[in-house]
Amino acid sequence: MKKILLSLACITFFALAGSPANAEQKVRDGVFIHISHGPEAPHRLLMALNMAAMMADDHDVLVYFDIDGIEAVLKDAPDVSYSHFPSSLTQIEKLLEKGVTLMACPGCLKAAGKSGEDLAEGIQLADKKKFFSFTKGRILTLDY
């Protein structure tokens, strides 16, 4: 009788532990990548974009361009190349295809005599609420 009760208890435990009500949802952590350098610093720019692409495979990613970084996301931005990295426009296109949010600082655009209309397709004006809502997990920041 003890064996039967022990078996029933084990079966009940494993059935409840595997039920959807007790299943832990997988929460992805986010990576916030800050790019303040543009075409004048190709290694920094391309390394940041490369990290964003690598992280996007497993994490939620938001890329924020400010200061000189905005020069990389304008409609007339040059296609920056350096060493073994894919070019800037290639990487930006890949990030957009992966659904990565790319944002530019509106104040930095204004300081450069530009506006949101000067941004390349797919690039958004920065929204501070989105900084905290692009992921449900922790937020790691990489600064370039």
Instruction: Identify the residue with better confidence: 77 or 15.
Output: 77
42-89 pLDDT per residue, tens: 999 999 999 999 999 988 899 999 999 999 999 999 999 999 999 999
Residue with tokens 């790691």: 140
Global pTM reads 0.79
Per the rule left: phi > 0, alpha: psi between -120 and 50, beta: everything else, 29 is: beta
CA pair distance 66, 38, nearest whole angstrom: 9
User: In the structure encoding, which two tokens stand for residue 55, read together?
Assistant: 């992280």
As a whole number of Å, the end-to-end CA separation of the chain is 67
Judged against a pLDDT cut of 70, whether residue 8 lies above it is answered with no
pLDDT at res. 138: 75
Other Cβ atoms less than 10 A from the Cβ of 85: the count is: 17
**Segment (H or E) for 11:** helix 2-17
According to the model, what pLDDT value does residue 12 have? 47
Structural contact between residues 74 and 94, judged by C-beta atoms closer than 8 angstroms:
no
User: pLDDT per residue over 85-122, tens digit each?
Assistant: 999 999 999 999 999 999 999 999 999 999 999 999 99
> Does residue 83 sit in helix, strand or coil?
coil
Confidence (pLDDT) at 103: 96
Domains, the chain, in order of start with CATH, read 28-143 (3.40.1260.10)
Alpha-carbon dihedral 62, 68, 143, 87, rounded to 10 degrees: 70
